[in-house]
Structures are given as C-alpha cells and as structure tokens.
C-alpha cells in the first residue's frame, strides 16, 4: 500500500476534489473525504480511484446526501491497495474505527460470548468465555447474548454434569458442593466419578454441542432402559433427568434448521429513515440466539446499501461462517463473500433464499426486525417528547442531546467516589458512564461539597482540554444535573465559573420532605426553587435519571468497598503470589498473625524459603 494526499488549498467541493485527479492512479483503493476542520465525512472504496473521484469532480447527478457531502469536502486522503477485495476490507475497518457522518455505522460495544469446553485439565471445565481464544479447548458459539449462554450452560449442567468451578476451588474441595446435591455436577473434585467416567460425559457434551444431539440422546435412552431392566432405578432416574435437560435445550432454541448446519442470518427492515438489522446465529444445526442492531445512516440511503455496509463492518473483527443468508440482495455480494472468505480462511457463500426452510427462517428474521423497529420508533417518540419537556422546564433552546447526572457515595467518608451517568435521545448511554475515585488528601471525610467540587473540577477540566485539542471530539453536556440541593448547586456553579465554562445548563434535584419521591425540589442559578406536577411524565423521567445515577454510584462504591475488604498487606510483598499467600494464611490464620511471626516461624511455612521469609519479616518490621 502507499498513501497519496494533495496539497492544501482554500477550495471546497467539486473544484477541490478535481485537483487530485492529476496524481491519482487507475487502481483500486480507499479514499477519505474530510471537511475544513479535518473531520472525516466519508470513507469509500473503488475499483478505480481515478474514475470514482472523476465522478465526484464532474458534479454528476447525485442524491441530496452525496451532493451535500461533496460540497463540504475540503481534503481527500487516498490509499491504494493490491485488489478491490483488500480495499473492501480496509474500507470496513476505517468506517468502524472513524464512524464518518455520511457512512453507515453502528455501535458495537462488546464481543459475542462463547461456551468453552477446556482441554487443559484432566477434568475439563465447561464455562462461559468472552474475548481472545487463548485457553486450550473447544469453543462453541457465538451466542447472541450472555443471557443465551447462561441459559444454555444452566441446562447443559443438568444434562452432562460437568464442573463449572475454577481450578483453585476444584483442588481445595473436600466434600461435594451444592451443585452435586441439586444434580448439576458429578463431583469429580471429591472422586464421586472417576476420570474415565467423566471423560465419557465430556465426549457426550462435545457431541451434543457439535450437532449430534440425536446420537447422544438415543444412547442415554438405551442406558436408562438398561438400568431400569437391571432394577437400578436410581441410575435410571438420573439418566431420565439428563434426557429431559437435553430436550429442554432444543425446545428453548426455537427453530433448529435441517437444511444447513452453520449460518448467520441478516434481515433488514427500514421505515421512517431508520433501519433495524436482526442477526440470527445458527451453529451445529442449533439456534444460538439473535440480536437487533440499529445502524446510523442517512435517511435516504437504500436498505440494501445499509445492509451491505453493515455486514462488512460486522465481520471486521469476527470470523464469518461458511453460509450467510440475507433478506435481500446487495450490490457487491460476490466481492463481499470473497473478502470475508479471505479473512476467515475458508469459502463464504452469501445467499438470498427464495423458498423452502431457509426462506422461512429469513422471513421470521424480517418479522423480528420489523417489530423491533416499530418498538424502537415508539420509544424514540416518547423519549423525544420527554426531552422537549426537559428543554421547556430548564429553559434550553432545543431538546438536550446529552444530559450528565452526578452523584456521590461513601460511608462516613470511607471509600468515597463520585459517579456520572449520561442520557440522551437513545436513552441511557452506559458506555459513557464514569466513576471518580476521590483523591484529595485534604478532604474532610464525608464532606459532600468538597467531593462534588473534586468530581466536577476533574470532569470539566478534562473537557476544556479536549475542546482545546479537538473541538469536534469534546462531549459537552447540554444539561448537568446534580443530585443535591442549593449547596451542591453553588459548588457546581463556582467550578464552572473558575474554568470559564458558560454554555452548560446547571440544575440540582433534591428529594422532597421525608425523602418523598414526587415532591422533589429543583434549583437553578438565578431562579427560585420550584417543583413539578407529581403526575408529570417529565418528573418521572428526571427521577429515573437521578435514581440511575444513585444506582451506579452505590454499585461502584460497593465494588470498591468489597475490594478493600478483600485486600491484604501480603498483596504488597513482591514474591508472595496467590499460592504463598494462601499457605501463609492457612498456617498463621490471619495477616495480622503473619505480621507478628518470627523469622524462624515464617521459614517453616511450605514454599517460603529463607530469602522470602526475610523479605516478609522486613516488610512488617522496617526498623
């Protein structure tokens, strides 16, 4: 690959684009269109960069969206590639990373979970896994959500009795845990099943998860009948329960196809300038769930174009299966299949089924997409009306795009932290939530005003710096809502004045008398305190914002407190890992007893040599 950019010029639009034509090759590549502030407007790929840019420069007939995009273009960046396939892969990667305004983009917040059957232990563990596949074992997935994995794991425990505990718990057990008592584990940790018997359960689980459900189920049925014939009714009852669990897995999965094994199904439905894309996952002939997506795109963009761009980004960091079923055709289906196959290392087929079972499954996915989009549009309408009410109450010129709510949490000053939650037209934006560990050493424990001052100072100081570095990336709130009364509001007002921030609306919400919900008072600078109608939908919305901030603050505080409770001074000593820490605590009973132990006593602990014993002793006796 090689980069090529033009020289700076004050021109914009077709004239500026035309200036690049002299140096552009007739070769495949990717181009970026930028405005005069350096923001990426659009990322595209072309079989011939020269021909594509020529069409922009000549002012040919374009849609309103493209015409507007061309008129804003002040600079272009080009990357030539070895093939159009490579250009498509690069385009998808850049769109997902840069999220240009005129491209289709969607928020992809986390990876899909899998089920992992480990192979690095004599008694393999069955567990949920997310992230890099670095552990040796067999991975089954992807599943559409953590809930789908948890439900499947819960049933697989009943069907195959495989352990779910960690290795450390497994090694420390002296008697079976509760899972054995409720028939969800065979208790290999205490020898209730030998390695050969457990290996047979593992083999059956692997067969079941790879699609050989009927083979496994038939064998268990034969074993149950044999046990019953031998009058071993207790074993027959256990096998019967396993058969029921296997049947439950299949029932809970809904449609299980017979004409294909592995496939992803993409079904799109557009309405009112919005699109919902439902993605269904089928692996080993089993339905492993679905998830809706709502990609951002221009209102006049055709559904097929939205679907094609979405699929390219969706597989940017995922491996495509051998079959992809679509609800409608896309322009570059062959090129897209070739690109996904190159990345996956196997042939990928993209198909739009017209009849049979595949068409029925796609139609089901389309119905889901239509219904999901209808629900979202109804929710967005209600959300828009609420935000219009917020704007009216707090005197904003337009409905707020970003509301930040602040709260503090501590117990008599201990483990203090501040929390910020964010809400907007799409509801709560949990990826934008932030927590602030209170760092000031001079702060009086329990001083809520000082805590709020530190939180707001850190938050808005950072915003000011981000604004100076790149104004486009600074995420300014339209409304900052403080959980508190006039005192907290005065602190917030002073912080913003000190930082020179003038265009953020400030308000505080305090609970009513006896902390009665519905009788909240609102405070704003230069305005008398006021209350809202207890039946006002906007009041309910503001209460939800306040309660969400409180929930997030309390939850973060509890995690911090729990971590502090579990902390030990032994964690600070180099060379004392988990195993030696456990040995020391088991030998002496507590960290305090370790601190008072003599050098000779420390040396008597298994795994602690003289050098480490001296290190531990010196840590607790620095004199």
Q: What pLDDT digit, counting tens, does each position of 518-544 carry?
A: 578 999 999 999 999 888 889 999 999
How does pLDDT run across 563-597, given as a tens digit for each residue? 655 566 777 787 888 788 888 887 787 778 888 88
User: CATH 1.10.150.20: which residues of the chain?
Assistant: 569-620
Please give the pLDDT value at position 417: 83
Which residues lie across from 435 on neighbouring strands? 419
How does pLDDT run across 67-119, given as a tens digit for each residue? 889 989 999 999 999 999 999 999 998 998 888 989 998 876 567 888 888 88
pLDDT > 90: percent of the chain? 35
The strand pair at 349-351 and 323-326 is best described as parallel
Span 569-620: which CATH code? 1.10.150.20
Please give the pLDDT value at position 542: 92
pLDDT-derived band at 619 (thresholds 50, 70, 90) equals confident
How does pLDDT run across 179-198, given as a tens digit for each residue? 888 888 899 999 999 999 99
Contact residues for 440 (Cβ-Cβ < 8 A; gap 6+): 450, 454
The answer to whether the CB of 508 falls within 8 A of the CB of 525 is no
pLDDT surpassing 80 at residue 472: no
pLDDT-derived band at 421 (thresholds 50, 70, 90) equals very high
How does pLDDT run across 480-498, given as a tens digit for each residue? 999 989 999 999 999 999 9
pLDDT > 70: percent of the chain? 91
Q: What is the fold, at CATH topology level, of the domain defined by 263-375?
A: Nucleotidyltransferase; domain 5 (3.30.420)
The answer to whether the CB of 419 falls within 8 A of the CB of 433 is yes
The strand pair at 403-411 and 479-483 is best described as parallel
Residue bearing the bigger pLDDT, 470 or 257: 257
Please give the pLDDT value at position 251: 55
Please give the pLDDT value at position 392: 94
Ranges of H-type helices in 210-232: 213-229
Superfamily of domain 403-535: UvrC, RNAse H endonuclease domain (3.30.420.340)
Angle between helices 213-229 and 233-252 (to 10 degrees): 160
pLDDT surpassing 90 at residue 223: no
Which of 333, 323, 329 minimizes the C-alpha distance to 285?
A: 323
The whole-angstrom separation of Cα 262 and Cα 323 is 7
Please give the pLDDT value at position 513: 55
The whole-angstrom separation of Cα 427 and Cα 169 is 41
How does pLDDT run across 309-367, given as a tens digit for each residue? 999 999 988 889 999 999 999 999 999 999 999 988 899 999 999 999 999 999 999 99
Lowest average pLDDT, out of 221-230, 273-282, 462-471, 555-564, goes to 555-564
User: CATH 3.40.1440.10: which residues of the chain?
Assistant: 2-98
Q: What is the arithmetic mean of pLDDT over 32-44? A: 91
pLDDT-derived band at 61 (thresholds 50, 70, 90) equals low
User: CATH 3.30.420.340: which residues of the chain?
Assistant: 403-535
pLDDT surpassing 50 at residue 6: no
How does pLDDT run across 150-173, given as a tens digit for each residue? 888 887 888 888 888 888 888 888
The whole-angstrom separation of Cα 212 and Cα 349 is 24
Instruction: Note the maximum CA span of the chain.
Output: 92
Domain 2-98 class, CATH top level: alpha beta
The whole-angstrom separation of Cα 125 and Cα 206 is 12
* Strands (E) located in 250-397: 263-271, 274-283, 286-293, 323-326, 349-351
Q: Phi-psi category of 505—alpha, beta or left, where left has phi over 0 and alpha has psi -120 to 50?
A: beta
In the chain, % helix, strand, coil (3-state, to 5) comes to 45, 20, 35
């Amino acid at each position: 690959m090689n980069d090529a950019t033009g020289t700076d010029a004050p021109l914009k639009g077709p004239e500026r684009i035309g200036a690049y034509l002299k140096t552009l090759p007739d070769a495949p590549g990717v181009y970026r269109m930028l405005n005069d502030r350096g923001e990426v407007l659009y990322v595209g790929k072309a079989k011939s960069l020269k021909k594509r840019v020529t069409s922009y420069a000549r002012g040919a007939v374009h849609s309103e969206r493209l015409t507007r995009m061309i008129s804003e273009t002040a600079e272009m960046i080009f990357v030539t590639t070895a093939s159009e396939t490579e250009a498509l892969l690069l385009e998808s990667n850049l769109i997902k990373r840069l999220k240009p305004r005129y491209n289709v983009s969607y928020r992809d917040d986390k990876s899909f979970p899998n089920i992992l059957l480990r192979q690095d232990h004599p008694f393999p563990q069955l567990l949920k896994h997310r992230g890099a596949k670095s552990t040796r074992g067999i991975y089954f997935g992807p599943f559409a959500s953590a809930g789908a994995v948890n439900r499947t794991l819960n049933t697989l425990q009943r069907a195959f009795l495989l352990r779910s505990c960690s290795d450390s718990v497994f090694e420390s057990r002296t008697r079976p845990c509760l899972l054995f008592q409720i028939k969800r584990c065979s208790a290999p940790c205490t020898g209730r099943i030998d390695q050969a018997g457990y290996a047979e359960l593992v083999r059956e689980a692997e067969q079941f998860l790879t699609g050989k459900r009927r083979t496994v189920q038939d064998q268990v049925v034969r074993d149950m009948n044999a046990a019953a014939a031998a009058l071993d009714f207790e074993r027959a009852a256990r096998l019967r329960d396993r058969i029921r669990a296997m049947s439950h897995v299949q029932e809970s999965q809904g449609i299980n196809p017979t004409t294909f094994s592995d496939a992803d199904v993409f079904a799109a439905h557009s309405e009112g300038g919005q699109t919902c894309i439902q993605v269904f996952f089928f692996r080993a002939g089993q339905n492993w769930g679905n998830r809706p997506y709502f990609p951002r795109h221009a209102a006049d963009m055709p559904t097929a174009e939205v679907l094609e761009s979405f699929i390219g980004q969706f597989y940017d960091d995922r491996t495509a299966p051998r079959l992809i079923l679509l609800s409608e055709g896309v322009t570059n289906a062959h090129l897209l299949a070739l690109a996904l196959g190159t990345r996956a290392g196997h042939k990928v087929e993209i198909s739009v089924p017209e009849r049979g079972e595949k068409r029925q499954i796609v139609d089901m996915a389309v119905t889901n997409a239509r219904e999901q989009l209808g629900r979202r549009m109804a929710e967005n309408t209600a959300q828009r009306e609420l935000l219009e009410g917020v704007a009216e109450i707090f005197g904003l010129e337009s409905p707020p795009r970003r509301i930040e709510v602040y709260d503090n949490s501590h117990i008599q000053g201990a483990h203090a932290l501040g929390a910020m939650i964010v809400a907007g037209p799409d509801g709560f934006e949990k990826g934008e939530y932030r927590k602030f560990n209170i760092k000031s050493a001079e702060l009086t424990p329990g001083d809520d005003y000082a805590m709020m001052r530190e939180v707001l100072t850190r938050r808005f100081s950072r915003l000011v710096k981000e604004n100076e570095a790149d104004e486009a990336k600074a995420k300014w709130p339209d409304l900052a809502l403080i959980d508190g009364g006039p005192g907290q509001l005065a602190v917030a007002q002073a912080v913003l004045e000190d930082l020179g921030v003038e265009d953020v609306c400030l308000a505080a919400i305090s609970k009513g008398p006896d902390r009665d919900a519905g009788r909240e008072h609102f405070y704003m600078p230069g305005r008398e305190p006021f209350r809202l109608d207890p039946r006002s939908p906007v009041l309910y919305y503001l209460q939800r914002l306040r309660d969400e901030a409180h929930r997030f603050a309390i939850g973060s505080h509890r995690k911090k407190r729990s971590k502090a409770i579990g902390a030990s001074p032994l964690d600070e000593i180099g060379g004392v890992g988990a195993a030696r820490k456990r040995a020391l605590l088991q030998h002496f009973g507590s960290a305090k007893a370790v601190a008072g132990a003599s050098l000779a006593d420390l040396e008597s602990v298994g795994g602690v040599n003289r050098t480490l014993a001296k290190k531990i002793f010196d840590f607790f006796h620095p004199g």
